[in-house]
Amino acid sequence: MVSSGRRVSVFVFAVLGGFSCGAAALAQSSILATVPDPTAPSALRSQPAETMAAAVVDPEWQVPRTSWGHPSLDGVWTSDDMRSVPMSRPERFAERESLTGEEFLARASQDEGLHDDAVNVGAFLQHEYGVRTFGWTSTIVDPPDGRMPALTEAGRAVNAARTRGTYGPGPFDSFADFSLYDRCITRGPMGSILPSIYGNGVRITQAPGFVAVTSEMVHETRIVHLGGKPPLDAGLRQFSGSARGWWDGDTLVVESGNFTDRASASRAPNSLEFRLTERFTRVDPEMIEYVATIEDPVTLTAPVTLRLMLTTQPGYTLLEYDCHEGNQAVRNSLSGERVYELQVAEAIANGEPVPARATEHTQIRNGAPERLFNINLGE
């Protein structure tokens, strides 16, 4: 593949030559160059999906159960249907949790167009969109305004200091300059539950005494111990924490602690005090309501609760997420940094202006080309 870029951007094209898994999962608004025209919504999008759940339509609906009597959560689920629900509620909605009929129709029409574009038009950086539309104004339901609580002073310091990896401008001098996501080590316990551009699948597997939750992107499996097993010693820390669970009626409650402070457990900076409480409730043959409460008194000024619906999708299969060190993004970024250093030295020696670094993905995509760089030849 041949990429174009002006001289100031050569270093970044070397980064993207191996393509980082982290960079690949940028917010959808920064990836899509254009948004397809709205399309008439399908019958499945004719009303908010949350109002069509079996437990809502029929109060007598019975949750399917395992052979040993627990509510069944087993299967492959995704948050693709939640792609159009923002995490933080736009201020215009105030404390309103649901869209009006007119607002929902606009969202459903847009979702239909995006789904059609992904299935019939898109190719590179394939987006995945679900077949339903939800009418919630945000995934955050507490605080009541649906917005992420402010960071504490310590949280702001942690956020400023954490490694941005390929989301930042570098410099890249060692593997420590890359995020755990870039390195395909972890995305944290909510990585594949909070929707991104693709890889939003989870596989839930149950056995007496255990529940396993496998994320599609970065291929992690969390083991939830049931039955009162004591938590790990406070000195033992893990990227995805240590999970203990129990059944509260038909809801699986999972409490996790023992996190490191290196993984962004919820797309926000976290400290060693981070705790996550999740609730999984089967509300339909094809839906699981997922509610998560995040507490971190060191970095957040208040707890925050999110609500999503995990759903089935036609033909959805969890494939191996074959990613190692960002599919060479680390190697290519390090070599690209060395190329940039040579460019700087050359400019200084020739009395020329030092070339600027490209710091934003928009600069990388839209920079006026001065020459072509063949990334397959290591340029």
179: in domain? no
The answer to whether residue 270 scores a pLDDT higher than 70 is yes
109: in domain? yes
Give backbone dihedrals phi and psi of 129, rounded to 5 degrees, phi first.
-125, 145
Mean pLDDT of 306-312: 98
210: in domain? yes
Q: What is the pLDDT of residues 146-197, one digit of tens each?
A: 999 999 999 999 888 877 787 777 888 988 888 888 888 888 888 889 998 8
Cβ atoms of residues 346 and 163 within 8 Å:
no
119 band by pLDDT with thresholds 50, 70 and 90? confident
Sign of CA dihedral 100, 39, 45, 198: negative
Q: Which domain holds residue 48?
A: 41-162+188-311
195: in domain? yes
- The strand pair at 251-257 and 75-78 is best described as unpaired
29: in domain? no
174: in domain? no
Stated pTM of the model = 0.84
- Residue 364 CB neighbours (<10 A): 18
98: in domain? yes
337: in domain? no
C-alpha separations of 259 from 3, 95, 156, 262, 277 in Å: 40, 32, 19, 8, 13
Among the residue ranges 216-230, 233-247, 282-296, 329-343, the one predicted with the least confidence is: 329-343
4 band by pLDDT with thresholds 50, 70 and 90? very low
Count: domains in the chain = 1
